[in-house]
A and B are shown apart, each in its own frame.
Chain A
Amino acid sequence: MSQTTSEPTTEPEPQQGLALGAAPGDLLQRLRTAVARRTEGRAVALLTLVVITVAIVEPRALTSYPVTLGRIALIGLVALGLTAVILMGELDLGVASTLAVSGVVMASFESLTVGIIVALLGGLLIGVVNAFFVVIVGINSFIATLGMLFFLRGAAFVISGEQPVRVANADTALQFGRPLVGPLTPRILIFIVVFIALHVFVTRMRVGREFYAVGGNREAAYDAGIPVVRRVFTGFMISGFVSALAGVINAMERTAADPTAGGTVLLASFAAAIIGGVLLNGGRGSIVGALLGAATLGILQVSLTLSGVQVDVQNIIIGSVLLLAVISDPASVRRVMARASTFLSERSKPQPAG
């Protein structure tokens, strides 16, 4: 998407130590600076708002936490992979189709193990192809992945013969949907593992931290000697792999792969990332933010369903939350305030006598 945004790389900064011996003023200033650098503030506020409301009105959404965690993992897994691409200022519109085709590919094999391996490798390959079109051919990622979206959706229909494909070993697949550790199902456990792995990758590893530089200012990243092409390849491969993983999990849990799967995944995963403070232009955001966004959406959806709110009204509420997340961005607020101030000051200037 945006190749040369001027947004500085602000995430993740090494944690500024708050020296014990610092003066109170200094300490406060450092704390404010540290908080200002984070991008998850809005997500935390929204999540807190939602959790408090739900705790009062529909506490079953919290007491039935395995169900809510399952919904968060359903929304969040793809969002985590997508965040890796968005951090670099790119988009991957093919995530839902990758999910669908991966499930179909996995279910097409007699052996679950072989099917899973092929499906996951397929996800990586899809990421490579996406990245090739974006950084080698030079096609805008919106257009390149839009094409991939249609291609993969069609491929899912062709491979499946336009009907759901039952997993060969349905009994094993059925067990996959059952709790493995306490109330946690394999989906939730895998989600936790992916979250930790990606969080560590983008905050603790040089390769991951360079995603922010690529997204924040690509020209500067080139000048700094960062292998931008390789980083973009890595990002798309992560997104493809995680989407394929989600497809495999879905097919296992449902005991069948549906070529139409993932109809709501694309928008939900983008919404989770945006609510989590991930800037679509790249350079800002975090994996934690995407998790918070997914948690907000997941808790909201489960509690609205438990409360019997119709899907139309649910969409209005979720859309409002999304809009709220966007318009309450401090940068947006500052911009609006500046424009209002300019407008008012111009109005208050004395008009030339005519």
Chain B
Amino acid sequence: MNTRRSRFVGLLAAGALILAACGSDDDATDDTGDDAAAGEDAADDAEIDEDDVVGDPDGEFEVFALLPQGNDQPYGSTYLPPMQEMAAELGISLTITNSQYDADTQASECEVAVAAAPDLIILWPAVGDTVRPCLSAAQDAGIPVTITNSDVNPEDEDLTRGYSGPDTYGQGVASAELMCEAADGAEIGIIVVNGLTGNSTAINRREGFVDTVEAQCPNVTILAEQPGDWNADDSQIAASEMLTAVGPDNVQGIYAADDTMAAGAIDALVARGLDPAEMIITSIGNTFLGNPLVIDGSLNGTVFQSSSWDGENAVTLAHEILTEDPSERVVRFMPDVKVTADNATDADVAPEW
């Protein structure tokens, strides 16, 4: 796979140089065939660059991983290396794609993957509602599919063999438990900054948080909610508007659905001359942005989402399906580790992204 890739890139580069050197369109193709053939021979003898290795070139299994992000996103860039290392360890040859959250591109990549007839497809849905045709096509071709990071809709689960990744509802529960513990029975009012409206992770985290607060600490009252769109700037505006709407004196806490938005909400407090350390603020992520906020006391607690766990387990689950062929759908949730000032500096919760 990798030899082919190196060959391909090399040949295209050589062909491009030939075409550019010709400076006109009509002569280019004559030389291409010869050059391509020569390039292929050369590439046959070429050593594979270690940096280009994806999985094990002599892998026992061929697996396509259809992802919506990669090195273009902080999470993806720390998700991929552990995934590739685990693949190499388990003898899996990975072909990784990145649709950049374009559902049509991912659908087309899925068609390519099905045509390539790999042993298994790992799918991280770009848009959960649009993956059923891809899953059906894979099923028709007899290719098992496992899901990573964001699970498919319940009605599509029977087309997949397993899921590994965060339990987004459970993350909301864990963040609510942090809030309840910090409130310690006191009657407080809080504002909520949610993720992007309609996004399944945002919906699940909110449900987990709200359900838990209602069940475990009815002394915590949600005064207002607004989306912060996973974005610090939007979150700052949303938090500022909610503070104005309900009155800053009535607000003793904030829940934000991720650390980035928590940072934006904290900025909104500071801009109003309020001390974040006097508020109860909880979040989800334990990122490079959120972890220092926990250490300095601005954020009471967050829930660790490990990109390395996510990447590794996508491959280990695939390997389990390929080698053990379990009859039931396998679901492997990421542990929801709570991070507070007590453990924020521990090595096992060191932020990864």
Contacts and interface: CB of A to CB of B under 8 A. Distances in A.
Interface stretch (A23-31, A66-74, A133-141, A228-236): A66-74
A74 B108 contact: yes
Contact of B24 (A306, A320, A333): A333
Nearest to B93: A308
A52 B29 contact: yes
Interface stretch (A7-15, A119-127, A199-207, A321-329): A321-329
Chain A binding site: helix, strand, loop or mixed by DSSP?
A: helix
A307 B1 contact: yes
Contacts of A305: 95, 97, 109, 112
A174 B136 contact: yes
A265 B104 CA distance: 9
Interface string A159-170: 011111010001
Given A56-B36, A311-B98, A327-B20, A250 B8 contact: no
Given A161-B198, A162-B196, A49 B130 contact: no
Residue among A42, A56, A264 with max Cβ neighbours from chain B (10 Å): A56
The size class of the interface chain A forms with chain B is: 35 or more
Nearest to B107: A254
A45 B26 contact: yes
Contacts of A308: 1-2, 4-5, 54, 94-96
Interface in B16-33: 16, 19-20, 22-26, 28-29, 32-33
Interface residues of B, number: 61
Given A57-B7, A307-B4, A45 B19 contact: yes
B8 A254 contact: no
Contacts of B197: 161-163
A309 interface: yes
Contacts of B22: 328
Contacts of A52: 15, 29, 32-33, 36
B25 A262 contact: no
B26 A309 contact: no
B16 A324 contact: yes
Contacts of A50: 12
A256 B29 contact: no
Interface string B28-45: 110011001100100000
A71 B19 contact: no
A101 to B, nearest CB: 15
A56 B127 CA distance: 35
B100 A57 contact: no
Interface string A293-315: 00000000011111111111100
A174 to B, nearest CB: 6
A341 interface: no
A112 to B, nearest CB: 16
A53 B96 CA distance: 22
Contacts of A307: 1, 4-5, 8
A239 interface: no
Contacts of A324: 16, 19-20
B127 A260 contact: yes
Given A305-B97, A310-B71, A164 B108 contact: no
Interface in B33-66: 33, 36-37, 40, 54
B348 interface: no
Residue among B33, B100, B112, B137 with max Cβ neighbours from chain A (10 Å): B112
Interface in B260-294: none
A46 interface: yes
A255 B107 CA distance: 11
B102 interface: yes
A154 interface: no
A64 B110 CA distance: 13
A14 B353 CA distance: 61
B29 A309 contact: no
The 10 closest A-B pairs by CB, nearest first: A163-B198, A254-B130, A164-B129, A64-B115, A41-B25, A42-B25, A311-B98, A308-B95, A256-B129, A48-B29
29 contacts: A42-B25, A45-B19, A45-B25, A53-B8, A53-B12, A53-B36, A58-B8, A60-B116, A67-B108, A71-B108, A162-B196, A164-B103, A164-B127, A253-B107, A253-B133, A254-B104, A254-B127, A254-B129, A254-B132, A254-B133, A255-B133, A256-B129, A260-B127, A261-B102, A304-B8, A306-B95, A308-B4, A311-B100, A312-B70
Given A52-B32, A313-B9, 20 more contacts: A41-B26, A42-B25, A48-B32, A49-B28, A56-B11, A57-B7, A67-B111, A162-B197, A166-B129, A174-B136, A177-B133, A260-B101, A264-B105, A304-B8, A307-B4, A308-B54, A308-B96, A320-B12, A328-B20, A328-B24
Interface of B: 1-2, 4-5, 7-9, 11-13, 15-16, 19-20, 22-26, 28-29, 32-33, 36-37, 40, 54, 70-72, 94-98, 100-105, 107-109, 111-112, 114-116, 127-130, 132-133, 136-137, 196-199
